[in-house]
Structure 1
């Protein structure tokens, strides 16, 4: 039994090395992915706004003065500058279990976002996190302490925890894209490009639930809506609206380098899912072996 427990522990150790190798590869991919993502979002944001102003609502755009057109273009660029800030903030808010390896990994992923840390971005929840782990000390020991502390339980990691972190990072990206799209649509309404009589809340809800919209525009990162007005009359009053809707799948698809990085990230996700099945099975066997050993050691014959 003792040898079985030792073998199972060794098997789990081998799996843990594989998981950490995948985590290191994932962090390296995000290091390339985030700067490229932010640059591509800016280009596609400008392109989508151009499509709205010149192809969908040309009359409204032409009605603007020259200075208003200049201000519009400048404001769109300024709005994009909030995207990396929001992304940094969202990833900062991701809750991590008490695990040094995961905390280190999250810190490294966060450092890949090309945005300088601002203390105003740190939420109160982060203060609770630092009570358990000194962030500065963890970062300082990133390259030195991993090998020294490899037997510490706080450095062991199961695939499920890493998968969860990856899912939440991707969710943060999507949330920030929705927020940016809403900010741009709201501004385009304020200056008279998008119809002002469409409640901003409707546009916001449509961005969060595309499957409930009437149809999707053929142009990348644009959303076509058919909005029915409730004027309590027998006549159906439907207004077609085309709004900005930045989608991560379209953003990645339209940039070869970003798409390549996403495919690599997806492969890691799949590898982790495969490892998770093996890990859970091996861990269950290990727990059973420990329980059987504990039963025998505590058994007293009458």
Structure 2
């Protein structure tokens, strides 16, 4: 029985080494995928914005001056660049944390040496001369990104971002006013940046690797949702979209489009809405207005980019290996528990 337990333990060690290699391969695959996704997001955000301004709301776009159009286009490009950098930072965060920790250690060592030298100089100073004792600097200690625990039922991607539908409201007429400059700083204050998950401390554990992968998919989806919200807010400030169109309406419509096919057809990464606009002078008179808004969707972005689609297939292939090995790993742990329990039973059993 002891030999059987040793054999099972050796099998588990071999599986853990294989799982760690798969985790490393999965991390490299996601670095490649998120790099390509960032480039695709920038391109398709511009394409969707072009279609929205020229096909969805051409009259509103034509009201802008040349300078206002250039401001809007530049701000849209900037949003896409920021989103691309944010996506790639999810895989660089762990390396940056380690580098920051090394830098803090080096700075602390330099401070200690400086303090000793200054103390020696103060002792050797002439009488009547006062010396100022240096105040040690305080450096922040970097910490890993917090992650919210996510229950893992199965291995592989399991990302869901449900949004409860919001009742449709009525809105007043949109008043045409001069358009002020569009500062991006106002957009950054509205929606928080998704927090990336830290790479598992135990990459030999398939459950931890699967949890990290699911959380990474979740923050990727949240990044696209944030980019859509920021871009729509930008279009509202430019008077392309109605200024009184609340964000909950867009979120509810986006959630419905994700869950159902019974929506108005729209080009990729765009959302078609039909809302009722109330006449403030004559409340009894209202009109239905069709509005197009940005709604970046990961599936549509991947479908339109062959390189990105290929990178996604590579991730799926690695996840298949992780799923298979994860099931075998759990089965082997179960086998070890049974063998150890049988050995413990025999060790404690004695005849009357």
Q: Which residue, out of 253, 265, 272, partners 1:224?
A: 272
Output one character per residue of 1:141-188: Cα deviation in whole Å (capped at 9) or x when no partner.
xxxxxxxxxxxxx75623222111111111111100000000000111
Residues matched between the structures, number: 255
Counterpart in 1 of 2:294?
A: 244
CA distance change for structure 1 residues 68 and 236 in 2, over 3 Å: closer, same or farther? closer
Cα drift, residue 106 of structure 1:
7.8
Instruction: Give the Cα separation in 1 of the matches to 2:87 and 2:203.
Output: 28
Any conservation in 2 of the 1:27–1:108 contact (CA below 8 Å)? no
> Quick check: which has more Rg, 1 or 2?
2
Counterpart in 1 of 2:17?
A: 17
- Shifted more, 191-200 versus 288-297: the winner is 288-297
Q: Return the TM-score normalized by structure 2.
A: 0.63
Q: Tell me the secondary structure at the aligned position of residue 81 of structure 1.
A: helix
Counterpart in 2 of 1:272?
A: 322
Q: Tell me the secondary structure at the aligned position of residue 198 of structure 1.
A: coil
Output one character per residue of 1:76-133: Cα deviation in whole Å (capped at 9) or x when no partner.
11222331454467x48xxxxxxxxxxxx9836999xxxxxxx99x778659xxxxxx
- Specify every segment of 5 or more residues in structure 2 that has no aligned partner in the other structure, as ranges: 99-138, 148-200
Any conservation in 1 of the 2:42–2:84 contact (CA below 8 Å)? no
Instruction: Give the Cα separation in 1 of the matches to 2:216 and 2:276.
Output: 36
Instruction: Give the Cα separation in 2 of the matches to 1:260 and 1:16.
Output: 28
CA distance change for structure 1 residues 76 and 213 in 2, over 3 Å: closer, same or farther? farther
CA distance change for structure 1 residues 230 and 177 in 2, over 3 Å: closer, same or farther? same
- Shifted more, 287-296 versus 178-187: the winner is 287-296
Q: Tell me the secondary structure at the aligned position of residue 64 of structure 1.
A: coil
Q: Return the TM-score normalized by structure 1.
A: 0.73
Q: Tell me the secondary structure at the aligned position of residue 220 of structure 1.
A: coil
Q: Tell me the secondary structure at the aligned position of residue 24 of structure 2.
A: helix
Counterpart in 2 of 1:107?
A: 94
Instruction: Give the Cα separation in 1 of the matches to 2:321 and 2:8.
Output: 21
Any conservation in 1 of the 2:35–2:84 contact (CA below 8 Å)? no
The answer as to 2:56 corresponding to 1:56 is yes
Matches within 5 A, 1:155-174: 155=202, 157-174=204-221
Output one character per residue of 1:171-215: Cα deviation in whole Å (capped at 9) or x when no partner.
111100000000000111121111223222211333345326861
Any conservation in 2 of the 1:216–1:222 contact (CA below 8 Å)? no
Counterpart in 2 of 1:35?
A: 35
CA distance change for structure 1 residues 264 and 244 in 2, over 3 Å: closer, same or farther? same
Instruction: Give the Cα separation in 2 of the matches to 1:237 and 1:123.
Output: 54
Q: Which residue, out of 229, 234, 245, partners 1:182?
A: 229
Cα drift, residue 74 of structure 1:
0.8
Instruction: Give the Cα separation in 2 of the matches to 1:9 and 1:247.
Output: 45
The answer as to 2:239 corresponding to 1:192 is yes
Any conservation in 2 of the 1:188–1:194 contact (CA below 8 Å)? yes
CA distance change for structure 1 residues 299 and 229 in 2, over 3 Å: closer, same or farther? farther
Calculate the aligned-residue CA RMSD, in Å.
Answer: 3.4
